[in-house]
Chains A and B, each alone.
Chain A
């Protein structure tokens, strides 16, 4: 079953992907982080948002 949590995360990533302020690489990494079954740490998010523009994904 699709949980509400999954639904919200998917909608969040979809809307974020269409935002000019957030790069595709950032959205992809965010998706990976939020897919993990643990709570994201602010520092992990800071790293993602601090990625160089159009940086290749590690």
Chain B
């Protein structure tokens, strides 16, 4: 934290230009409402934090530091509005200046540019709570428990703790959801596996039983034990166990097709063969027809080979190629019968060829089957047959081929392998003996699928385990955090509560010395109840007066700040807060500051000048650490009267011949001094119901009271037999009477030299003696050591002593008991 040494404020809020010397000490600014006191607080707060609390938060919509921070006449020149603070950093033992402009609130100029200083000032900038206003007090006391909790947690910088808890809670909820989803997925995967295995339940035994049954089908070794690495389909990739590309039904089909085709070979294309044979027989029986057919064939070849006028068949040269072609076509036209016969032969030959092609197609798969089944001889025979059929097919589609086939066609023209039917039957039996294909494929598929589903299940289990672990971790973290948070906060609130009670009891020790309070934290709220005269615990606003409630607010603030900063609580701005403390408890308030926060510098504003004087009397501040704002104008800002320099100011005015100004200053000074002394000494002016006491009412009464107190003191000294005290008191009383006579205060009503209404008409030489007389008179009421006004203690009841703040003046008023 810091202590404030001085402040230079320009064009901020209601201030035009102002220098204040705080001297690292508690400082009081007093003055009537609207005199600019809070403007100083705003400026200091701005200088330290870059923000002004009064211009932010609820009810400040449309208000901003940038627009409303500068003096109203400088809103267009925000760079003219700035604050320069000289601060002392106790922890570093260093001083620094921080200059912050309204147009650049986030970029203050810090001198010297020391890293530690910058860090320390950065920390202060994060603590706007150094400023306490009456509005803040209400925030702590007269709010619902939830808002109080928020406010106090915000002040104590605990907001992030709540946000961490919230994030942890959200995370654990998410992870719990994920864990539930992972468990559901695992269950689903388990059920999917179970359904595949067709077992009532999943267990290693039931799984292995189902799997080994299928492995047995494939003659794979059984799996003895189910481990994390067990592969249910192990061995399936081996060639030996891989199902061949063999379709049993297809094989039977192929065998059936060939068997049926060759069942009665003699009848194979019998009609077509008979027709061909008949045609060929006819040819053999008619040589001319045969010759014509043969020539026709010859001529057809020649016609195809014609390439010029020379005949390709006999080399005869013709007139031209056209003539040769026409000659050959004429010869073909002459063998119509031969043509018809040839057509018949070719048509029938083609039909036979098609049958042979289909037969060949039925041979090939059976040949492959025979080969696959190891029937090599049969396979070769079929291969040879297949080749023979291929050749036959080519022969059947030409007339010459058919003529060459005449003898073959009348016998075993297909030339099928010997004992074909028997061999086909044997092959069929062999195929039939092979394992059932569906069982192996099923086993293969079963094992492959089982492995996939087992892998899925295992993965699902892994994910479930990971999700449960994550969920457990998150829940544990959340629970631990809540436990730690609750424990620390409870301890914190207990400490705050204790300090709060101590401070409040000190403030109200005359009537609430047994005050207690209870801060009860619960989920998201902080309940505060206070004891009311031993009648029980009640909300602060239930029975206590507003003044008492304000006192509670200040005490709770102090307790919170003590807890927040500990010994580093060195600075606070109290903006018109002490006004809330009623007159009867002000000295106690000063005592609270002095005894519990001796190292804390408070910058205090109050509109009650008497209160300011009381703080001086109590030694909280001195003439050097207090200032009075007498008024304010929009052009000048606060009008300051320095108590310390009042006589110098009056002398200066007189020196310039400004009697009127000097008279006004003296009048103001006498007004508040007489009011203050009347209160301090217990003077008894004529009672006024409106409390509107004038100088003429108060000052004579104060003088009278003082003389009476000296009389009481003399009597007390005599009762104690203290001749020296009697002598001192006698001297003081005599001096007071002399100076009172010089000022003619006792002649107030009749002497114009005393009555301020006449002062303005005096000349300088006339007024100087008046000033000197009052200055001498007031000196009797002030300690020249601590500069405080003297006061009677106790405040109520019989006076026991007359004292000053430093106790250099300590006059006994109590007589010895007889």
Bound-state CA distance A40–B481 (Å) is 14
Out of B174, B483, B564, B568, which one reaches A46, CB within 8 Å?
A: B174
B604: shortest Cβ distance to chain A, in Å?
A: 25
B134-151 with Cβ < 8 A to chain A: none
Given contacts A1-B566, A23-B473, A30-B477, contact A8 B484 (CB under 8 A): yes
Q: Report A24-58 residues with CB < 8 Å from chain B CB.
A: 26, 30, 34, 39-46, 49-50, 52-53
At the interface, is chain B mostly helix, strand, loop or mixed?
A: helix
User: With A21-B476, A26-B473, A49-B474 given, is the CB distance from A34 to B164 under 8 Å?
Assistant: yes
A39 to B476, CA, bound (A): 20
Q: Are A53 and B488 in contact (CB under 8 A)?
A: no
Pair A4/B474 contact, Cβ less than 8 Å: no
- Contact B171–A4 (Cβ < 8 Å): no
Chain B contact residue count (CB 8 A cutoff): 37
Expressed in whole angstroms, the Cα–Cα distance for A26 and B483 within the complex equals 19
The distance in angstroms between the C-alpha atoms of A50 and B467, with both chains bound, is 7
Q: Are B163 and A39 in contact (CB under 8 A)?
A: yes
Q: Do B167 and A40 touch across chains, with their CB atoms under 8 A apart?
A: yes
Contact between A39 and B167 (Cβ–Cβ < 8 Å)?
A: yes
A43 to chain B, nearest CB (A): 8
Contact A15 B484 (CB under 8 A): yes
Given the interface contacts A4-B157, A5-B160, does A49 sit within 8 Å of B167 by beta carbon?
no
Q: A15-B480, A46-B175 are in contact. Are A1 and B469 (CB under 8 A)?
A: no
Distance (whole angstroms) from the CB of B788 to the closest CB of chain A:
34
Task: Give Cα A3–Cα B566 distance, bound, in whole angstroms.
Answer: 10
Q: CA separation between A7 and B492, bound complex, in Å?
A: 12
Chain A interface, DSSP helix/strand/loop, else mixed: helix
CA A4 to CA B486, docked complex, whole Å: 12
Please state if B473 and A22 are interface contacts (CB–CB under 8 Å). Answer: yes
Q: Which of A34, A41, A45 has the most CB of B within 10 A?
A: A45
User: How far is A42 from B485 in the complex, measured between Cα atoms in Å?
Assistant: 18
Tell me, yes or no, whether B543 is within 8 Å of chain A by CB.
Answer: no
Query: What's the Cα separation between A27 and B504 when bound, in Å?
Result: 43
User: A39 to B157, alpha carbons, bound, how many Å?
Assistant: 13
Q: Which of A12, A21, A40, A52 contacts B484 (CB 8 A)?
A: A12
* CB pair B171 A49 closer than 8 Å: yes
Question: Smallest CB-CB separation from A18: which chain B residue?
Answer: B480
Q: Does B565 contact A (CB under 8 A)?
A: yes
Q: Which residues of A contact B488 (CB under 8 A)?
A: 4, 7-8, 11
Residues of A near B167 (CB, < 8 A) are 39-42, 44-45
**Contact of B441 with A by CB under 8 A:** no
Is A16 a contact of B476 with CB atoms below 8 Å? yes
Number of A-B residue pairs with CB-CB distance less than 8 Å in the complex they form: 88
Q: Taking each of A4, A15, A39, A49, which has the highest tally of chain B beta carbons within 10 Å of its own beta carbon?
A: A49
> Looking across the interface, which residue of chain B has its beta carbon closest to that of A38?
B160
CA distance A49 to B174 in the complex (A): 11
Q: Which residues 573-615 of B sit at the A interface, judged by CB distance below 8 A? A: none
Q: Which residue of A is nearest B162, CB measured?
A: A39
Q: In the assembled complex, how far is the CB of residue B73 from the closest CB belonging to chain A, in whole angstroms?
A: 40
- In the complex, what's the smallest C-beta–C-beta distance from B696 to chain A, in angstroms? 55
Query: Which residues of B have CB within 8 Å of A21?
Result: 472-473, 475-476
Kindly identify which residue among A19, A40, A52 contacts B480, using a CB–CB cutoff of 8 Å: A19
Bound Cα distance A19, B470 (Å): 14
- Closest partner residue, chain A, to B91 (CB atom): A1
CB distance from B487 to the nearest CB of A (A): 8
Asked whether any CB of chain A lies closer than 8 Å to the CB of B156, the reply is: yes
Instruction: Kindly identify which residue among A4, A22, A40 contacts B156, using a CB–CB cutoff of 8 Å.
Output: A4
Given A1-B565, A12-B480; A39-B164 close (CB under 8 Å): yes
Is there contact, CB below 8 Å, between A39 and B160? yes
B168 on interface, CB distance cutoff 8 Å:
yes
Identify which of residues 478-514 in chain B touch chain A, using a CB-to-CB cut-off of 8 Å: 480-481, 483-485, 488, 492
Q: List 19 A-B contacts (CB under 8 A).
A: A4-B157, A4-B161, A5-B157, A11-B484, A12-B480, A12-B484, A16-B480, A23-B473, A40-B167, A41-B167, A45-B168, A45-B171, A46-B171, A46-B470, A49-B172, A49-B473, A49-B477, A50-B467, A50-B470
